[in-house]
Structure 1
């Protein structure tokens, strides 16, 4: 899926949209039912529709995708399905535009949103944010797997606009940095040799590298000049701010999925480095 400039900025910075209808909204497949004879990990949870976890879900591979039958898959989708199973809830994924998902949660039309939503201070003002599910780090795409930024800065570098690291890269590389509106354009220049290194989020980079043999994605080594290499974004689940009990359940269920190895299993399934799911700290990015 092509990531536009506004699309990535919505992920990185948290767009505040109040009182909007869910534009581009369509129902996905019928709600998936939990197992019978189920005992919830947290009894008495309140949801928009009793017995169902309503999920606002924009299509954004590899985090959320929809099949021809409307069924949701992807990293975030599978995490939420696993949480719903733990809570004996059905899941009802509603396909929305990216900028409409958080407002759907904010207004109480959805319980949670999925789609690699960053945990930011501005977003935390309007919705609850679960503990982090994974890091969405700075991925370096090259032929030789280079990861140290001083070496990268000696090469022709391109990145997609809107990411957290772009302003810092501009300060270091100036006009030599090539900035693209989408990762499709960046990959075209990588394959044509017009740039030697591309910079994208690790999960998205690994998704595209899988279809482009010979390219490697490495995690950028920390460099104080590039803040995102030192403190990567963390993705969580936005939930209705007033539903504190749901927030507690999400946090404890995510912790169980991590300790059981289920998060790593989901990442491996989607060809993303499972180390991204091994979050050891908890913070909000300033935005």
Structure 2
């Protein structure tokens, strides 16, 4: 994915929308920070071991209130509430992940984030990621770059950190629907891990995306990722200089209307991308859907 500016004029001021989203994410982050040390009311979510807490729903309600007040006609897709309709024919859609890393919070591990993205005609044009643990926020407007916590532009370093050119540090992410015995996930993760110094599995993809944007890690590989948190983080990293491709090496299209099978990705600093794709394309089939023998 290469940052581009949508061809048609948008019915929203993205600078203003960035401010609304940043304020909402940071307010939700403050709510989360205040609540992580108390009773969490952890409940199962689905059958794959995922969980939800009262903090998820409280943070989401706060964000939805802010978005509805500022943009009453926009559609919203939220992690816990699902699809919330907007005005008839509305092309602007917000994606809201109020607590990315709920499983971490549930076991007392402070690795989590808040993510919001705004899409126009299914294409992400604004992404915001807030890290309540550090109190830092990153935001990106498509074609306009990424801003860091101090409001200064963020750019992925042009060179890897010492010792990491041939031994990169990578992150792995997969969707909640991926089971522990998924043969494709196992084959892909194992092959990539052999090519790096360390593979992180944070269970909070938004945190990994900000780490890539800063150059703290060198790349991310994603298999059947969750759509609700993908655009915010990916846009932040892409606008900072990371490059994204499909797992089979094809161009990466971020559109939220695409099937999950087309959302698997390799994201990395430009000089590392081809080497990672050498590994993933051996496993991915020519259409990126993977051979059944994996």
**TM-score computed with the length of structure 2 as normaliser:** 0.35
Structure ranking higher on relative contact order (CA contacts 8 Å, 6+ apart): 1
Relative to the length of structure 1, the TM-score reads: 0.35
